[in-house]
Amino acid sequence: MAKQLVAKLKLCVLISGRGSNLQSLMDACAQANYPAEIALVVSNIDGVQGLERARNAGIETAVVSHKDFDGREAFDAALTEHIAAYHVDLLCLAGFMRILSDDFVNRWRDRLINIHPSLLPAYKGLHVHERVIEAGEQFSGCTVHFVRPDMDSGPIIGQAKVAVQAGDDAGTLAARVLEQEHIIYPEAVRLIAKGRVRIEDEQVLIEDVT
Ligand code: GRF
């Protein structure tokens, strides 16, 4: 077996459901030359498909239910405790449906990323595809960004643009956007793991390989 000379970036992926973006990261990490590995998957909801995907692949999982805690801070403290043992380098939100406290976000500043199904800063929040179609937009897309305390904000690492087609409904548009999510999320993580992502004045700079 080939010896691994450079340590891989350790990821913790936070989910709440289906976990198709988690799957795209798992698939990327399964490639020998991909520079990251998933150390832990945390869900705030038990029994979701994403947990099943991780367990089937032999990845460590934890369920930290927000219902077991009195308030956001207590929940976030429990999250921190679970994650601490894994010495994680980067947290990846992948369909994680909880708003994190400012303290948590600041503690993980520049080590916490999210994928959102719109061309941020347009269409923050929920029900993006419905709103995009309702507004008659010609294009939508998806964004990977560093997380800042304001919801769906922070330096943008990568985006993909998707044309809205005549006859699209929220479901068909979501499916085409999701295909792109599965490409840009592992690519963003790869760039970070390779040390090619720098933040200057809250703008991401992608450095060329030297
Ligand atoms: C994705 O559309 C992602 O952009 C959004 O939530 C959805 C999660 O899907 N944040 P999945 O659980 O990764 O399949």
- 4 CA to centre of ligand 1 in angstroms: 32
154's torsion region: left (phi>0), alpha (psi -120 to 50) or beta? left
What single letter denotes the amino acid at residue 4? Q
Q: Which of 66, 82, 87, 116 is catalytic?
A: 116
Residue 100's pLDDT is what?
Answer: 95
Rounded Cα distance between 89 and 68, Å, is 27
DSSP state of 114: E
**Torsions phi, psi for 84 (to 5 deg):** -50, -40
Same domain, 35 and 66: yes
Here the CATH number for the domain that contains residue 22 is 3.40.50.170
- Of 61, 79, 108, the one marking the end of a domain is 108
Say if residue 1's pLDDT is above 70: no
Q: What confidence tens digit (pLDDT) does each residue in 83-141 have? A: 999 999 999 999 999 999 999 999 999 999 999 999 999 999 999 999 999 999 999 99
Written as six digits, the tokens of 145 are: 């960004």
Residue 6's pLDDT is what?
Answer: 81
Same domain, 45 and 129: no
Looking at the structure of the chain, the number of domains it has is: 2
pTM of the prediction? 0.96
Pocket lining: 141 vs ligand 1, CB cutoff 6 Å: no
Same domain, 37 and 96: yes
Same domain, 141 and 177: yes
- Of 45, 79, 108, the one marking the end of a domain is 108
* Average pLDDT value for residue range 188-192: 98
Could you tell me if 83 and 91 are in contact, meaning their C-beta atoms sit under 8 angstroms apart? Answer: yes
Q: Which domain holds residue 144?
A: 114-210
